[in-house]
Structure 1
Amino acid sequence: MAMNNVRSLRIAMNSIESVRVIGTRTYAAGKAKKASKGGAAPDAPKVSSLSKEVKATTVVGANILKDGTDPKIRPDSEYPDWLWQLLDKRPALSELQRKEAEDLPFEDLKRYVKLDNRARIKENNSVRAKN
């Protein structure tokens, strides 16, 4: 009885190992690029076939719809005012700490609280981190 159990166990183990070998994923090696004599590199950037007119009047590549077209560029007056302030430099935490809290505008005060909380969280995480 015990010998039958050992034989069935060996058969089961062999089948499990064969499944592991069969189920192993292998990756194919990438194709080696051949150097051409005097020709352009295979990864050379392609020259755009769009005219300068189209590039100047549309936002090329901004279309997210399958059947849609690229949106046209509008005059600056049709965009919201906040859009033009996105690239403005905002004060860093060190600059905000040097100023008095009562003198800060509301937007800078909100930014100070957010940056200060973020810095405290990072500091607490680094102290508690297991090395």
Structure 2
Amino acid sequence: MPVNHIKSLRSITIPKEVIRLVSHRTFASGAKAKKGSKGGAAADGPKASILSKEVKSTTVVGANILKDGTDPKVLPDSEYPDWLWHLLDKRLALSELRRKDVETLPYEDLKRFVKLDNRARIKENNSLKAKN
């Protein structure tokens, strides 16, 4: 049944004027782009901030996820947990962990070594099986 409908739709001719109306492009901002520019509006450059320096230094701008909420205030360092200050610390790579004595590694480094070593062995085994 659907095949018959498709065949009947193919025989319909559509005037060019209708195609022009349907395929007409518009810009969301309502303003036309300048000739010679490569897409986007002319004001796509960096915009000056409308927030004062005082507001920027006392609030976490953009951290609000609620519709009716406000941006949270910046707290003193003592109010945050200790682990937060170590998130960006550099950790040893697997090759460096392999060079060290496993018996002397701290617990966190040992845990990381086991995880990375298992991951490397799984990848190696998978690549060997894929070649065969």
Work out whether the TM-score is over 0.5.
yes
- Does residue 121 of the first structure (1) align with residue 122 of the second (2)? yes
Percent sequence identity over matched residues?
72
- Structure 2: segments with no counterpart, 5+ residues: 11-22
Shift of the 29–110 alpha-carbon distance from structure 1 to 2, 3 Å rule, reads farther
C-alpha distance after superposition, 1:62-98 (max 9, x if no partner): 0011110000001111111000011111100000000
Alignment match, 1:55: 56
Q: Partners in 2 of 1:19 and 1:92 — Cα distance?
A: 63
Q: Partners in 2 of 1:115 and 1:94 — Cα distance?
A: 10
Alignment match, 2:14: none
Shift of the 86–12 alpha-carbon distance from structure 1 to 2, 3 Å rule, reads closer
Alignment match, 1:70: 71
Q: CA RMSD in A?
A: 3.1
Alignment match, 1:13: 3
Alignment match, 2:103: 102
Q: Partners in 2 of 1:64 and 1:70 — Cα distance?
A: 9
Shift of the 19–69 alpha-carbon distance from structure 1 to 2, 3 Å rule, reads farther
**Number of residue pairs aligned between Structure 1 and Structure 2:** 112
Q: Partners in 1 of 2:122 and 2:25 — Cα distance?
A: 45
